[in-house]
Chain A
Amino acid sequence: MSVLVILIAISILVAGGFLAAFIWSVKKGQYDDDYTPSVRMLFDDNPDSTKS
């Protein structure tokens, strides 16, 4: 049954990794603005290409 102990340790470690990733993403500002990026990704990259 001692394999259980190893499994638990690994599972918590993995979960901890995700927690760290979450904290990192918050710190990077990914949750600061949850609307504008959804619009921004629809824009053309180069405005000059539409020059008339």
Chain B
Amino acid sequence: MPPLEALASPTMPAPAPQKSSTKCYHCGETCDRSLTEGSYYFCCEGCKFVYGLLKENGLCNYYDLSSTPGIKVKGRFASDKFAYLDNEEVIGKLIRFTDGKQSHLNFYLPQMHCASCIWLLENLHVIQPGVLYSKTNFGRKEIFIAFDPTATTLRKIVELLAFVGYEPHITFNDSEKKREKKVVRQQIYKIGVAGFAFSNIMMLSFPEYFSSGNIDEHYLERIFNYANLLLALPVFFYSANEFFISAWKGLRQKWLNIDAPIAVSILMTFSRSVYEILSGTGAGYLDSMCGIVLFMLVGRWFQNKTYDSFSFDRDYKSYFPLGVTVLKEDGTEEAKTISSLEKGDRILVRHNEMVPADALLVKGEGNIDYSFVSGENTPVARQKGDLIYAGARQLGGSMEMEVIKTVSQSYITQLWNNNDVFDGQKNKDKSFIHPWSRYFTAVLFTIAATAGVYWWVVNPANILPAVTAALIVACPCSLLLSATFTFGNMLRHFGKNKLYMKNASVIEALARVDTVIFDKTGTLTHSTKAAISFKGETLSKRELNLVYSLAKESTHPLSRMIKDYLLQTNHTEPLPVEYFKELPGKGLEAMIDGHYVRVGSASFVKGPSEEVSSAFTQVWIAIDGHCLGYYTLANSYRDGVREMAGNLQGDGYRVHVLSGDNSAERKNLQYLFGAQAPLLFNQSPQSKLDYIKELKDQKGLRVLMLGDGLNDAGALKQSNVGIAVSENTSQFTPASDAILDSSQVGLMDAFLRYARSGKRIVTASFIISILYNIVGLSFAVRAELSPMVAAILMPASSITIVAFVTIATSLSAKRKGLA
């Protein structure tokens, strides 16, 4: 949740302290003090410009609501990046409603993170004339915008949003998912109806409870009973219908699902109550029935609410842009949707755009970032004629490409759709609750039948009351509630620690795992931080400033790491840069304050013959043609990896490491994981997948894989549990079962312990529920179950179970060291 204290006391930010590095007033990034506006400092022109725009429109409240709420402006996007939004077909897909004067649309804005965001986004109309109003939903990170299509365009709105840092996540799916809201409301109606009926029936049943079944005025008794029946009708036919539907669907597939015993119980209670009331022989158990339905519905609602905050069902298409620029033969550009892209089309891919389909580079220089496909975030140079796979991101200039495969046939799509891997058969082992519920049903029927036989011999008049009462009182609802609430609560605790799971069955699968496999790059190591060291001549303050000024100009990850390193260690200051040139895959050069500075690869800085082979990334520097030395960027491991690995092995897990890199890190990894742990290097995505498959199929192990995004998509999906480790948890990785914030990798041992405790908690709550059932059944088989006993016993058991599991899961989380 965002820092709300800031809202309560909107204090003016204190003047920046007097030291050479400070924080950007807009985005909070550490920066130098060269760019100012008023009394504030900015890290880049982009941030300063956004500040200027907001100030001009009187929107500076943005900075008062939370401190440094802005999102770093990542360079200027190409002017026609959003050109496809002028395409009628695209507009038609995105706009939900229009009458010519007003159009409505909804966007998912993953960057929304605090009260300031809400405030700015709801004041869009101040900046952009033509926007009528906008409304955010913080929980879903969505914005609803109503605008006048004659005064502004979809493209302008998206460009504004992107400019102020909230680039909408526009995908194919947006146009398809509109219906889920209705389902959620249906569920609330059902709870409302059940709650209404339950409380009123309870009230009308009080006379019955306290007079122990003998109300003096018989007409009143009949009125009470009929009123109860009337109130129970909507509960039976409306609120409870999903249990019947689900049970029926299960039966048709010859599968007794968890809803079946509930449906039987509700049906039985209702028919016996109707019979008793119509025949005037009793008051029935309608109060208990409505109670069950209400508790079950609340349990389901709670479950859905827990899942609501993550929408996991995104496929690879969510990652691709909607539109692409196609060059026609006469040289004109045209925006096309990706699905209509054909083989042989010439496309234009600009800076920071994704290549949507496998294509040949025809013109321009490629500087390709494959991090989406391979996890490797150092861009590689590609020349004319090279094949570039879908999913690659171009950095630097624009390039012309010829499509050789359509989107649905491209490499990444194939990896995705690989039937071998993505057949949806994952976690075939059903929840351990299912066998329980079947034992439960079997035992229950045996008890009921035994009671029936006994009374058939002793007193046939009691057969029906005893058998039906047994079925009524022994409702498996506490079984279901305990699992729902235990796992729901655990999901919340995992979420608090930034492990976001797809659903509750992931917890059970996690508890069964016996092998843990880590990917190295990005999972065990920092992907934006490296251990940097310098080798060569000692640099003077002035030389450091020169290098810093040059590195600052580039957005390349290596430049950024060096820039941050210099800023933090040496308090460098920028100098004016002229003739800046960035050569993709090679390095940077510029004239700075009268010196010619070059930073980049060895061959770039020292000359083409000087190719150095090293296990580590090196960045060489030269000033005025004199080579001064190089920076080594070594992997920097995340905190707590060694303790975690030790704990995991202590708990009996087998720990493996698969790395896509060479074996230079073997020593470090052996130190972290012990000499016995299998370490494999130079693994391709396919070989990782095969390795996991072999562990699973040949050795019968249950594998947990922690990997990085799409690179390990196949491996994540192949494993029993795949956890995607991500710097940015608002980006979902479809192949995974869970997403873990990369800073929390060191907590993996605690997560696994907590997952295992889940089963114990559920088992304990089952025992409580069985004790209640024994008490209830002891009344029932003697044919002495009064409506009052049922009405006390059933809600009491549900409430005890819910309270028990809620407290137990919270305590257990604390004991396992989770926040």
On A, residues with C-beta under 8 Å from B are: 1, 4-5, 8, 11-12, 15-16, 18-19, 22-23, 26-27, 31-36, 39-40, 42-44, 47-52
- Residue numbers in B under 8 Å from A26 (CB-CB): 185, 188-189, 192
- Whether the Cβ atoms of B192 and A5 lie closer than 8 Å is no
Residue B136 interfacial (CB < 8 Å): yes
- Residue numbers in B under 8 Å from A22 (CB-CB): 192
- Whether the Cβ atoms of A33 and B139 lie closer than 8 Å is yes
Q: Which residue of A lies closest to B224 (CB)?
A: A8
List 5 additional contacts besides A44-B61, A48-B58; criterion CB under 8 Å: A16-B196, A26-B185, A36-B137, A42-B115, A52-B58
Answer whether A52 and B139 are a contact pair too, CB < 8 Å, given A15-B199, A19-B192, A47-B61.
Answer: no
- Whether the Cβ atoms of B217 and A1 lie closer than 8 Å is yes
**Can you sample 28 A-B contacts with CB below 8 Å?**
A8-B223, A8-B224, A8-B227, A12-B200, A15-B199, A16-B196, A22-B192, A23-B189, A27-B185, A31-B188, A32-B181, A33-B139, A36-B118, A36-B136, A36-B138, A36-B139, A39-B115, A39-B118, A39-B119, A40-B118, A42-B7, A43-B119, A44-B61, A47-B59, A49-B58, A50-B59, A51-B58, A52-B55
Residue B695 interfacial (CB < 8 Å): no
- Whether the Cβ atoms of B137 and A4 lie closer than 8 Å is no
Compute how far the CA of A32 lies from the CA of B199 in the bound complex, rounded to whole angstroms: 25
Q: B196's contact among A15, A31, A33, A51, by CB below 8 Å, is which? A: A15
Compute how far the CA of A48 lies from the CA of B54 in the bound complex, rounded to whole angstroms: 11
On B, residues with C-beta under 8 Å from A are: 2, 4, 7-8, 55, 57-61, 115, 118-119, 122-123, 126, 135-140, 181, 185, 188-189, 192-193, 196, 199-200, 203-204, 217, 220, 223-224, 227, 231
Compute how far the CA of A31 lies from the CA of B193 in the bound complex, rounded to whole angstroms: 16
| 4 nearest A-B pairs in the assembled complex, by CB-CB distance | A51-B58, A36-B138, A19-B196, A33-B137
For the complex formed, measure the closest distance between the CB of B202 and the CB atoms of chain A, giving whole angstroms: 12
For the complex formed, measure the closest distance between the CB of B97 and the CB atoms of chain A, giving whole angstroms: 15
- Residue numbers in A under 8 Å from B200 (CB-CB): 11-12, 15
For the complex formed, measure the closest distance between the CB of A36 and the CB atoms of chain B, giving whole angstroms: 4
- Residue numbers in A under 8 Å from B203 (CB-CB): 11
Q: Which residue of B lies closest to A31 (CB)?
A: B188
Compute how far the CA of A51 lies from the CA of B56 in the bound complex, rounded to whole angstroms: 8
For the complex formed, measure the closest distance between the CB of B111 and the CB atoms of chain A, giving whole angstroms: 16
For the complex formed, measure the closest distance between the CB of B53 and the CB atoms of chain A, giving whole angstroms: 13
For the complex formed, measure the closest distance between the CB of B441 and the CB atoms of chain A, giving whole angstroms: 34
Q: Which residue of B lies closest to A49 (CB)?
A: B58
- Whether the Cβ atoms of A39 and B4 lie closer than 8 Å is yes
- Residue numbers in B under 8 Å from A39 (CB-CB): 2, 4, 7, 115, 118-119, 138
- Residue numbers in A under 8 Å from B223 (CB-CB): 5, 8
- Whether the Cβ atoms of A50 and B204 lie closer than 8 Å is no
- Residue numbers in A under 8 Å from B139 (CB-CB): 33-36
Compute how far the CA of A3 lies from the CA of B337 in the bound complex, rounded to whole angstroms: 72
- Whether the Cβ atoms of B122 and A40 lie closer than 8 Å is yes
Compute how far the CA of A32 lies from the CA of B185 in the bound complex, rounded to whole angstroms: 8
For the complex formed, measure the closest distance between the CB of B307 and the CB atoms of chain A, giving whole angstroms: 16
Compute how far the CA of A43 lies from the CA of B217 in the bound complex, rounded to whole angstroms: 61
Compute how far the CA of A16 lies from the CA of B126 in the bound complex, rounded to whole angstroms: 44
For the complex formed, measure the closest distance between the CB of B107 and the CB atoms of chain A, giving whole angstroms: 15
Q: Which residue of A lies closest to B196 (CB)?
A: A19
For the complex formed, measure the closest distance between the CB of B197 and the CB atoms of chain A, giving whole angstroms: 9
Compute how far the CA of A12 lies from the CA of B284 in the bound complex, rounded to whole angstroms: 20
For the complex formed, measure the closest distance between the CB of A7 and the CB atoms of chain B, giving whole angstroms: 11
Answer whether A8 and B204 are a contact pair too, CB < 8 Å, given A26-B188, A47-B61.
Answer: yes
- Residue numbers in A under 8 Å from B217 (CB-CB): 1
- Whether the Cβ atoms of A50 and B58 lie closer than 8 Å is yes
- Residue numbers in B under 8 Å from A5 (CB-CB): 220, 223
Q: A50's contact among B61, B185, B199, B224, by CB below 8 Å, is which? A: B61
- Whether the Cβ atoms of B60 and A1 lie closer than 8 Å is no
Q: Which residue of A lies closest to B59 (CB)?
A: A47
Compute how far the CA of A35 lies from the CA of B60 in the bound complex, rounded to whole angstroms: 23
Compute how far the CA of A27 lies from the CA of B122 in the bound complex, rounded to whole angstroms: 23
Compute how far the CA of A2 lies from the CA of B119 in the bound complex, rounded to whole angstroms: 59
- Residue numbers in A under 8 Å from B115 (CB-CB): 39, 42
- Residue numbers in B under 8 Å from A36 (CB-CB): 118, 135-139
Answer whether A52 and B192 are a contact pair too, CB < 8 Å, given A35-B138, A39-B7, A39-B115.
Answer: no
Q: Which residue of B lies closest to A42 (CB)?
A: B7
- Whether the Cβ atoms of B126 and A48 lie closer than 8 Å is yes
- Residue numbers in B under 8 Å from A8 (CB-CB): 204, 223-224, 227
For the complex formed, measure the closest distance between the CB of A28 and the CB atoms of chain B, giving whole angstroms: 10
For the complex formed, measure the closest distance between the CB of B203 and the CB atoms of chain A, giving whole angstroms: 7
Q: B138's contact among A16, A27, A33, A47, by CB below 8 Å, is which? A: A33
Q: Which residue of A lies closest to B142 (CB)?
A: A33
Compute how far the CA of A31 lies from the CA of B137 in the bound complex, rounded to whole angstroms: 12
- Residue numbers in B under 8 Å from A44 (CB-CB): 61
Q: Which residue of B lies closest to A1 (CB)?
A: B217
Answer whether A47 and B137 are a contact pair too, CB < 8 Å, given A23-B189, A26-B185, A36-B118.
Answer: no
Compute how far the CA of A15 lies from the CA of B119 in the bound complex, rounded to whole angstroms: 39
- Residue numbers in A under 8 Å from B227 (CB-CB): 8, 12
Compute how far the CA of A25 lies from the CA of B518 in the bound complex, rounded to whole angstroms: 49
Compute how far the CA of A22 lies from the CA of B135 in the bound complex, rounded to whole angstroms: 23
Compute how far the CA of A16 lies from the CA of B59 in the bound complex, rounded to whole angstroms: 47
- Residue numbers in A under 8 Å from B136 (CB-CB): 36
Compute how far the CA of A29 lies from the CA of B378 in the bound complex, rounded to whole angstroms: 47
Compute how far the CA of A23 lies from the CA of B220 in the bound complex, rounded to whole angstroms: 31
For the complex formed, measure the closest distance between the CB of A4 and the CB atoms of chain B, giving whole angstroms: 7
Compute how far the CA of A50 lies from the CA of B63 in the bound complex, rounded to whole angstroms: 12
Compute how far the CA of A40 lies from the CA of B4 in the bound complex, rounded to whole angstroms: 12
- Residue numbers in B under 8 Å from A12 (CB-CB): 200, 227, 231
Q: B60's contact among A31, A42, A50, by CB below 8 Å, is which? A: A50
For the complex formed, measure the closest distance between the CB of A12 and the CB atoms of chain B, giving whole angstroms: 6
- Whether the Cβ atoms of A47 and B123 lie closer than 8 Å is yes
- Residue numbers in A under 8 Å from B57 (CB-CB): 47
Q: Which residue of B lies closest to A43 (CB)?
A: B119
Compute how far the CA of A24 lies from the CA of B266 in the bound complex, rounded to whole angstroms: 28
For the complex formed, measure the closest distance between the CB of B781 and the CB atoms of chain A, giving whole angstroms: 35
- Residue numbers in B under 8 Å from A1 (CB-CB): 217, 220
- Whether the Cβ atoms of A4 and B58 lie closer than 8 Å is no
Compute how far the CA of A35 lies from the CA of B217 in the bound complex, rounded to whole angstroms: 52
For the complex formed, measure the closest distance between the CB of A51 and the CB atoms of chain B, giving whole angstroms: 3
